[in-house]
Each structure stands twice: as structure tokens, then as C-alpha cells.
Amino acid sequence: MILGPTGTAGAAVLEQALANNHIDRVTTLHRRKTGRKHTKLHEIIHTNFVNNAGLEPVFASIDICFFCLGISQLKEKNRERFFQITHDYPVTLAKALFLSNPSVTFCFLSGQGADPSGKSNIAFAKAKGAAENSLTYLGLNQLYIFRPGYIHPDSPHSGRTIGERISGFLYPVLKVLLPRFVIHADELAQAMINVALKGYPIRLLDNAMIKEYSE
């Protein structure tokens, strides 16, 4: 199952999951259709991510969940709403999946700078850190947290923030000068799928670990 299948990371995960011979079915849970057609793909339209009632039969059949859903704090100025999307959505879903299938593998897309201590005044760092903590305390048997740096898209989309556009323009330079702080979406997606299918010795992967496991 993939959440956020039209975002930079989620779209890359979707494409690679569909192409992977070890994955026989891909379910997306999203507000709208992805526009992608494939025999493996099953799309579920869902709009209330704090209430997953009625999806229990679907969740029971899910072996792996890639939670790539998110929003920039520059686009969502309301801190309470931003926290709900960044923290409540993944935690609510993980709880529901775990109840339906205790052996589910949950892969959470966090981000470089996430602050589990809760001391940061930056909305992104605080919300992502809180989500990491809450997911850890759920007791999931297989939980992996990914903290990439700037994610360079395969195909730039129109909804990017100014910062993302600047980073995208500078990506050829950044990947040489600051390789620990940038990653291509395809690298991230491949690493997430590798970890989900093969496992990894630790739960939290930083940008360098993600790039290493993308090969």
C-alpha cells in the first residue's frame, strides 16, 4: 500500500513497486486517481485519513505500507493542521494496519532534521519527530523510518515550493558538493523497497544509509 502516490517520493515508489517482480499487487490510498494504469494497481479513493473505518478487510491483506503522504509547512501555514497531516495521519493508519495485520511492515517517510526530542520550534522538525516517536511506541514488529535530505524529483512538477525549485536547479552541484544532504527520488524509492522486502538491521535510516541501500 502506498500513501502519497502522486508526490515526489510516493510516485517513485509507485513506479518501482509496479515494476518489481517480487510485488504482485499495489494498492494506493489517495484522494484521487493517480492516472496510472497497470494490472497490478488497485486504487482506493479515500478522503478522511483520521477515520479508516470500513477499510479493515483491505488492511488485513496489506503486507507492506509506504507512507509518503505529506505537505510542505510553507503550503500549510496552520500549525495544527500541519501537525494533523504529518503526525496524526500516519499514526492513525499504522494503528489500523497493525490491528488488521500484526505482521505488517510500515515504512515511514520522515525527513532530515526531524526532532524526536520535541524541542524544535520548526513545525516540520517537531511534527516529524513526534510522528517517529508515536510510531515507535505502537509496537509494530517491522517499522522503518527514512530521513532523506532534499529529494530531487524524476520529473519536476508545478506544485513545488520556491525552495524546492532552487534546490532542484542546484541539484547537479549539490550532489557533488553535499552528497549527504540530497538524494534522487528513484534512489529513495529503491532503498525503501529494498528495506521493506529484505529488512535492515536498524530502524532509522539517514540519507547516507538510504543511498547505500538503494543499489
DSSP 154-196: SS--TT--HHHHHHHHHHHHHHHH-GGGEEEHHHHHHHHHHHH
pLDDT of residue 153: 81
Neighbours of 77 (CB within 10 A): 9
Residue 100 has pLDDT above 60, yes or no: yes
Neighbours of 62 (CB within 10 A): 18
Residue 122 has pLDDT above 60, yes or no: yes
pLDDT of residue 169: 47
Instruction: Compute the average pLDDT of residues 150-169.
Output: 59
Instruction: Compute the average pLDDT of residues 84-102.
Output: 98
What residues have CB less than 8 Å from 6, skipping those under 6 apart? Answer: 30, 32, 34
Buried b (16+ CB within 10 A) or exposed e, 113-128: ebbbeeebeebbbbbb
How many percent of the chain have pLDDT more than 70? 87
Residue 159 has pLDDT above 90, yes or no: no
Residue 170 has pLDDT above 90, yes or no: no
Residue 27 has pLDDT above 70, yes or no: yes
Neighbours of 157 (CB within 10 A): 12
Cβ 98 vs Cβ 56: under 8 Å: no
Nearest Cα residue to 146 out of 12, 21, 23: 12
Which one is predicted more confidently, 160 or 25?
25
pLDDT of residue 61: 97
pLDDT of residue 73: 85
* Arithmetic mean of pLDDT over the chain: 90
- 153 φ/ψ sector (left φ>0, alpha ψ -120 to 50, else beta): beta
Cβ 125 vs Cβ 147: under 8 Å: no
Q: pTM for the whole thing?
A: 0.90
pLDDT tens by residue, 32-75: 999 999 999 999 999 999 999 999 999 999 999 999 999 988 88
Domains of the chain (ranges, CATH numbers): 2-212 (3.40.50.720)
pLDDT tens by residue, 180-213: 678 999 999 999 999 999 999 999 999 999 999 9
pLDDT of residue 77: 87
pLDDT of residue 156: 55
pLDDT of residue 166: 47
